[in-house]
Chain A
Amino acid sequence: SQQGEEDPQALSIQEGENATMNCSYKTSINNLQWYRQNSGRGLVHLILIRSNEREKHSGRLRVTLDTSKKSSSLLITASRAADTASYFCATKGRDDKIIFGKGTRLHILP
């Protein structure tokens, strides 16, 4: 079964609001990564957080990691129309495989 599971499956918010997505995983990890996918395109890496880190920032992105709960969250602040996309968490699993969750579809309303 897949390593990561995102929550919610879909999210619609007004432009300017903050968007929060969550990810849960099942086994121990070296790192957790978040990717974005625009419709019909490949995935683009956003941010990576190591297992010994608890929080990381990159521009309007903030990622937290709680290894005791096996969960992570991605916060996008001051959302923009261009943030409309699907967001996936991915964990480095056994044998160095990268396993993805099912994703959260984010829609920013004008």
Chain B
Amino acid sequence: NAGVTQTPKFQVLKTGQSMTLQCAQDMNHNSMYWYRQDPGMGLRLIYYSASEGTTDKGEVPNGYNVSRLNKREFSLRLESAAPSQTSVYFCASRLRDRVPNTEAFFGQGTRLTVV
């Protein structure tokens, strides 16, 4: 039982390049989330998906797109990477949306550097 798996763990991009961060969970969770973590800023929500086929913007969605490919997978895409997107990205999942009292499970993070 792997939980939440993120790939890659590390990535260096040049400004303007594109890439997709992958996230998969094997816990049959409905809700999935993408966060970025920067020093002194805590975790900020980029996008989330309450169920397969739906996505919604979080606190800092600009410069990102997401795809909820199926119930297991939720990918985050940077179309044209910028140095301001240098961060650690975390994917998380939760048992069911609309059920208020369940916790989120996190992946180990992707450390992205844009030069």
Contact = CB atoms under 8 A, between A and B. Distances in A.
Interface stretch (B11-19, B64-72, B73-81, B93-101): B93-101
A96 B59 contact: no
| Interface SS of A by simple majority | strand
Given A2-B59, A30-B101, A98 B45 contact: yes
Interface string A13-33: 000000000000000001101
Nearest to B94: A98
Contacts of B56: 95, 97
B42 interface: yes
B33 A98 contact: yes
Contacts of B48: 97
A45 B105 contact: yes
Nearest to A31: B101
Interface residues on B, range: 20 to 34
Contacts, number: 65
Nearest to A6: B42
A100 B94 contact: no
A62 B79 CA distance: 44
A2 B45 CA distance: 9
Interface residues of A, number: 24
A45 B104 contact: yes
A50 B59 CA distance: 24
Interface in B81-106: 90, 92, 94, 97-98, 100-106
A11 interface: no
Interface string B8-27: 00000000000000000000
A42 B101 contact: no
B42 A48 contact: no
Instruction: Give the 5 A-B CB pairs with smallest separation, nearest first.
Output: A30-B100, A102-B42, A42-B106, A45-B103, A100-B43
Interface of B: 4, 31, 33, 35, 40-45, 48, 50, 56, 58-59, 90, 92, 94, 97-98, 100-109
18 contacts: A2-B44, A30-B100, A31-B100, A31-B101, A42-B90, A42-B106, A43-B90, A43-B104, A44-B106, A45-B105, A48-B103, A96-B100, A97-B48, A98-B33, A99-B45, A100-B44, A102-B40, A102-B42
